[in-house]
Structure 1
Amino acid sequence: MHADRVVKTYASWDRGEHEQEWRALKILAQYAPDLAPLPVVAELHAEPPVVVMSRLDGVPLRGQTVTAEQIKAMAEAITTLHKSVPASALAVMAPSPWNPSVAVAKARRLRAEQPYLGEDPVVLRAFAMGAEWLDSCAPEELVSGEATPVLGLSDGNLANYLWDGKRVQMVDWEDSGRSDRAFELAEVIEHISRFDGTFDGATLLAYVELTVAEAARVLDLQRLLAFTWLCTLGPGGVFSGRNPHGTLARQADRLRDLFN
């Protein structure tokens, strides 16, 4: 970290994360320069690769009580992102590595593995509800259904959203690519980082204009992502030790709410 720039050296890059981030920063510099760091220089063929970008002022929203003002600014930033990049640029862009098709496949794999989630009946009932829904035809529609293409950050971690007192900007574009507007909204609303503080995803949606079909698609994608998170939070799960005590029970309540 320098006064005016950030030097990002990648610890892993097998999925082309450095190339995806550099490409996104250049596109955003052209179409939405106030949303993200500006690209300075890149050493994409070095080992490890390096991307240098401008440094943004601001505090990550993760771990905070995210206010209504900040949520509105988030919605404005996300809306600007989704409207700024033209269809011609999106058409030649590689898909994000995290997308509805990948998410459905991951959820089905986790469901088949029958992850150990402890003995809490509330948690087990939430898993059963999610598994029953996943076994239905609804998830297939998430892959084949109508979607609005956008450039997506494809990482809903609230740490990637910086508040400078007036606006929200976004960092960490290594998973970015052509995405689905509904998926991007569901991803930020359901990301487990919300449990590190307080974040009201319903308020975010209230600031975003959605058609009836888009709203229904967002809800189903929320269910998909919430179920996936539940499967990873049990004792011994990959994310069980990274989150505050009680996260599994809270996630079970969240998933049940999405089905009621």
Structure 2
Amino acid sequence: MGGHTIHLEPHRVTKRFRGPDGPAAARREWRALELLAGHAPGLAPAPLQAGLLPSAPVVAMSRLPGEPLRGQPLDERRLTALADAVRALHSAVPPEVLSRVPVRPGRPAELTSQVRSWASQRRAHASAEVTSAADRGLRWLDGSAFADGTAEAGEHPPEVFGAGDGNLANYLWDGARVRIVDFEESGRSDRLFELAEITEHVGSWVEYPLDADSFLRRFALTGAEHARLCEYRRLLALVWLFLLSPDEQGEARNPSGTVERQAARLVALLA
């Protein structure tokens, strides 16, 4: 198991990483904090101290003000501030620096392989609604740009620095602007994939739904980019259907009916 524990002080946050991926996650977190401190100061916590030994990786950073966007209604001001923060993150790292940043984990090829692994181990007692949506998603996947496990959706787009996690709990609103925390999955990425990560994360709709269309209108996307973004959203919606399926089988971490709602989201995106 991976993950981390967090120790909060008035002006300092200390993350201790655990599990097989702990050392790599700590390095990604520290790299992001250093890059953003140099190229977009104030957007993310300031790096304070790191201990990156494999046996006990730990990263300390400044504590930012604000409340997580997850779990609260997102009005026009918050949506605009969220889009501004995401745009600032994506454009923060100059291309010549970004080219030396490792690719983030969890890209489409990895997700496609993971979905197929989950599909081969599916339990027969999933509800008919969830089973039908998963079957439709898997049929779509077999005919998509991701079918061979290597292709991206469409032509390779310009790369950006991505947070790697679309959870709105990592976006803090202080009443005037949004700042970003949690970079353990960060790295070089595709802007459209990062936008899809935000719109399709369960945290963007299970409580107070993010208006995905309104959010995405705040980015200048071409028709081809919209089409590629749709493919990424479909892939991530399928991933989330499998991730949430244990909730249906007595291991609930989300409100009742979340898996069925995810199934409906996937079907709508595939329509």
TM over 0.5: yes
1:175-186 matched pairs, under 5 angstroms: 175-186=185-196
Q: Is the partner of 1:178 in helix, strand or coil?
A: strand
User: Which residue of structure 1 aligns with residue 224 of structure 2?
Assistant: 213
Preserved CA contact (<8 Å) 2:154 2:228: no
Is it true that 1:17 corresponds to 2:25 in the alignment? Answer: yes
Is it true that 1:68 corresponds to 2:76 in the alignment? Answer: yes
Is it true that 1:3 corresponds to 2:6 in the alignment? Answer: no
TM-aligned CA distance change 1:124 to 1:12, over 3 Å: closer
TM-aligned CA distance change 1:67 to 1:151, over 3 Å: same
Q: Deviations over 1:55-75 (max 9, x none)?
A: 100101112222222111111
Structure 2: runs of 5 or more not aligned: 1-7
1:100-115 matched pairs, under 5 angstroms: 100-115=108-123
Q: Is the partner of 2:165 in helix, strand or coil?
A: coil
Is it true that 1:135 corresponds to 2:142 in the alignment? Answer: yes
Mean CA deviation greater in 235-244 or 83-92: 235-244
Question: Which one has more relative contact order, counting CA pairs under 8 Å at least 6 apart?
Answer: 1
Instruction: Count residues in correspondence.
Output: 259
Could you tell me which amino acid in structure 2 is paired with residue 217 of structure 1? R
1:84-163 matched pairs, under 5 angstroms: 84-116=92-124, 118-120=126-128, 122-140=129-147, 141-142=151-152, 145-163=155-173
- Provide TM-score, normalisation by structure 2: 0.88
User: Which residue of structure 2 aligns with residue 223 of structure 1?
Assistant: 234
Q: Is the partner of 1:10 in helix, strand or coil?
A: strand
Q: Deviations over 1:64-102 (max 9, x none)?
A: 222222111111111111112111111111111121221
Q: Deviations over 1:2-49 (max 9, x none)?
A: 222212222336351111100010000111112100111111127322
Q: Deviations over 1:215-243 (max 9, x none)?
A: 11111000001011112322467995111
User: Which residue of structure 2 aligns with residue 250 of structure 1?
Assistant: 261
TM-aligned CA distance change 1:85 to 1:197, over 3 Å: same
CA distance in 2, matches of 1:204, 1:116: 37
Instruction: Name the Cα RMSD after superposition.
Output: 2.1
Q: Is the partner of 2:30 in helix, strand or coil?
A: helix
Alignment equivalent of 2:37, drawn from 21, 29, 40? 29
Preserved CA contact (<8 Å) 2:50 2:60: yes
- Provide TM-score, normalisation by structure 1: 0.92
TM-aligned CA distance change 1:238 to 1:42, over 3 Å: farther
Preserved CA contact (<8 Å) 1:64 1:198: no
Could you tell me which amino acid in structure 2 is paired with residue 191 of structure 1? H
Q: Is the partner of 2:179 in helix, strand or coil?
A: strand
Preserved CA contact (<8 Å) 1:115 1:231: no
Q: Is the partner of 1:37 in helix, strand or coil?
A: coil
Could you tell me which amino acid in structure 1 is paired with residue 90 of structure 2? H
CA distance in 2, matches of 1:217, 1:134: 14
Q: Is the partner of 1:9 in helix, strand or coil?
A: strand
